[in-house]
Amino acid sequence: MPIVLETSRLILKQFEEQDAALLFELNSDPDVTRYVGQVAYKSIDEALQFIRNYHNYENYGMGRLNIFYKQSGDYIGWCGLKYLEDKKEFDIGYRLLKRHWGKGYATEAAIVCMDYGFNTLNLKQIIGMAMKENTPSINVFKKLGMTYSSEEDCSCHPGVIYTITKEEWK
C-alpha cells in the first residue's frame, strides 16, 4: 500500500514517475544542494531513472516522500525517512525548493514522518545528519526535539549527528 502522510497544510506521497521534472528542478538549484554532497541531475531522464530505481518503500516500508501544498497542489520538495545500511540507523532528511524556505514546511513534514517512523514502523531511534555549517537543517533537528550526538563527516565535510528515541518523541 502506498505511503501517504498528511498535515493540516501538506500532503506527502511516494515518488512517482511523473514527478521526475519536479525532482530535476529541486536538484538543479545549487543553493538547495549546497549541503547535500550530491551533484545535480543532468536531465529529467536521470531523475526518472532515480525514481525507477528507488526501492526504499518496498525494502523498508519508508522512504523520502514528495511534499505538496494541499490547497494548491504546488510542489514543495521532499522529506522522509531513510535506512542507512552502513550505519544501521534510520535518518530523517528533507530538501525544499528555495521559494518554500522559512515557512515551517520542513519541520511540519518531518514531524509527520517521524511520527510515522515511531508509531507505525515502531522504530527505536531516528538520527539526523547535516554538515556543521548547515544551520537551517540543524535548527529543524532541534525543533523536532533531537539532541546533538556526535561529529562525523557528512559528504566529506565536517558534520554532526542529532538523535531522538521513541521514548523522547512527544
pLDDT one digit per residue (tens) for the chain, 170 residues? 789 999 999 999 999 999 999 999 999 988 888 888 777 888 999 999 999 999 999 999 999 999 999 999 999 999 999 999 999 999 999 999 999 999 999 999 999 999 999 999 999 999 999 999 999 999 999 999 999 999 887 766 789 999 999 999 97
Q: For residues 121 and 101, what is the distance between their CA atoms, to the nearest angstrom?
A: 29
The angle formed by the CA atoms of residues 13, 72 and 50, to the nearest 5 degrees, is 35
Residue 148 in grid coordinates:
546533538
pLDDT of residue 36: 82
Q: Which of 157, 12, 24, 30 is nearest to 78 (CA)?
A: 12
pLDDT of residue 155: 65
The answer to whether the beta carbons of residues 99 and 149 sit under 8 Å apart is no
Phi, psi of 8 (to 5 degrees): -65, -30
